[in-house]
Each structure stands twice: as structure tokens, then as C-alpha cells.
Amino acid sequence: MSGATVREIVLPDRGALARAVAERIMELSQQPGDGPLTIALSGGSTPKALYETLSRPPFVEAVAWPRLELFFGDERAVPPDDADSNYGLAARTLLAKIPSPVHRMVAESGEAEAYEHLIRGRIHKRRAEIPVFDLIFLGVGDDGHTASLFPGTRALEERERLVAMNEVPQKNTRRMTFTYPLINAADRVWVLISGAEKRDIVGRLREKRAQDDASFPILRVDPSAGELVWWLDAAAAGTPRRGT
């Protein structure tokens, strides 16, 4: 870990968290600029709440959707209509209702190299020759994994490829995922964490972070020149703190 500052923003509940993040997306979409706002989405219950919030007024009308270009940071090796598909979740809750261009990960075919090629072709800003996303959304699992970077898996050590297929034996599955070089080149990395079931891992992660111990995969997320924000609800945070 290089010691990049992690900013925690704690909201009262999952709904308030979703609204606060939606407001920031709305603001980003309305900032001056000619190019697309490139965003990598994630799966899970907290992003689902965000997608549902964005699909309703005032955000569905106020966000400059045509300016957003959407990607995915990881995906299970399932077709898009599968209940476990990150794309399927986003499509049902948000994507079908907005005009933003979307690039699905075809993880069921293992086309990681093709997705990396797509990213390199679509995103022109570079940081050390690596494409720079405007925003990457992540979550965190009870084991400290993020995206599909699970403890003990090969993709944790990938330094050349930006997108990889990762065997996850503890889940008996194979997944496509962004790797650390791509994640850590982003301008913004926002980690969404909610629910009392996440309180234990959040506490353990804070302890490890204070010790400069990156043994959990999420703690290797360390943007080289971008911002890192953990958005939490009070149940996950276990504290009354609130950021700004």
C-alpha cells in the first residue's frame, strides 16, 4: 500500500447512501466536457439500490445519460439473463430505462482479452499507458474480496493484463474481472458497502489498513492519482461518523 487517503462517507441507511451517490453521478454528468463519462458498474445489493434510485425521478430525468458510457468491473461466467449476472441486474433495474451506451462483459465465453481491447479503444485518457476510467464502482465481500479478486486467486498477482478470467475455487466458479493495474489507474474508485452483515469485515479492514497490511484484496485498491471513497451506511460502518 502506498498510503493513499481513504475517505469514508457514512450515511444513515442504504437508501440515503444510494441517493447521495446518485446525486454525485448527476453532478459529474453535468460538468463541462466533450468526452464521455466512463463508469464501470458492479453487482450486489447496494448497487441494486443505487440503480433503482437512478431509474426514478429526479435522477432519471436529471442525469445527462447520453454522456455516460458504461462498462462492468467484473462478471460471472453466465449469460445475461441468468439471475447471477451483474449485467442482468443492472439491465433490469436501470439500463433498460436510459440511453447510455453499455458494454457487457461476455464472461461466459471467457473473452477477457477482447474486453481489455474494447477498453483500450474506447478510453483515450492514459496514466502510465493504462486507460483511465472516470469512475469505478466496487463492493467488498465478507472475505475482503472486491470485483472478482478473491483471496488466494491468480488474478491478484496480475500486473500486465487489465482484464482477466479468474478461477475462484472457493466459489466453484470462473469470473471475468478488472485487475489492479486498471482499477488503480482510475480517477475515482467508489466502494459501496451497506448492511449490518458487513460490519465485521469493515472493522477488520480498518484495523488492517491502519497497520498498512494489504492482506485483504480490497486493501490493494490504491489509486495512484485518483480518489478512493468508501461509501457506507451506518449499519455497515458501526459508527455515527459522516463524511462530506
Domain ranges of the chain: 8-31+44-236
Residue 222 neighbours by CB distance under 10 Å: 17
Q: What is the pLDDT of residue 18?
A: 98
- Is the CB of residue 180 less than 8 Å from the CB of residue 149? yes
Cβ-based neighbours of 6, under 8 Å, separated by 6 or more = 209, 228, 229, 230
Q: How confident is the model over 189-213, as pLDDT tens digits?
A: 999 999 999 999 999 999 999 999 9
Q: What is the pLDDT averaged over residues 58-83?
A: 97
Task: State percent of the chain over pLDDT 70.
Answer: 96
Q: How confident is the model over 117-176, as pLDDT tens digits?
A: 999 999 999 999 999 999 999 999 999 999 999 999 999 999 999 999 999 999 899 999
Pairing of strands 130-131, 126-127: antiparallel
Q: How confident is the model over 86-106, as pLDDT tens digits?
A: 999 999 999 999 999 999 999
pLDDT at 241 over 90: no
Q: What is the pLDDT of residue 239?
A: 64
Please give the grid coordinates belonging to residue 47.
448497487
Average pLDDT, the chain: 95
- Is the CB of residue 160 less than 8 Å from the CB of residue 214? no
CATH number of 8-31+44-236: 3.40.50.1360
In whole angstroms, give the CA distance from residue 66 to residue 138.
Answer: 23
Q: What is the pLDDT averaged over residues 217-222?
A: 97
In whole angstroms, give the CA distance from residue 34 to residue 36.
Answer: 7
pLDDT band at 5 (very low <50, low <70, confident <90, very high): confident
Q: What is the pLDDT of residue 151?
A: 97
Q: What is the pLDDT of residue 63?
A: 98
pLDDT band at 242 (very low <50, low <70, confident <90, very high): very low
- Is the CB of residue 198 less than 8 Å from the CB of residue 191? no
Backbone angles phi and psi of 58, in degrees to 5: -85, -5
In whole angstroms, give the CA distance from residue 192 to residue 16.
Answer: 12
Three-state SS at 234:
helix
Q: What is the pLDDT of residue 218?
A: 98
217: exposed, middle or buried (Cβ count in 10 Å: 0-12, 13-18, 19+):
buried
Please give the grid coordinates belonging to residue 126.
492514459
pLDDT band at 34 (very low <50, low <70, confident <90, very high): confident
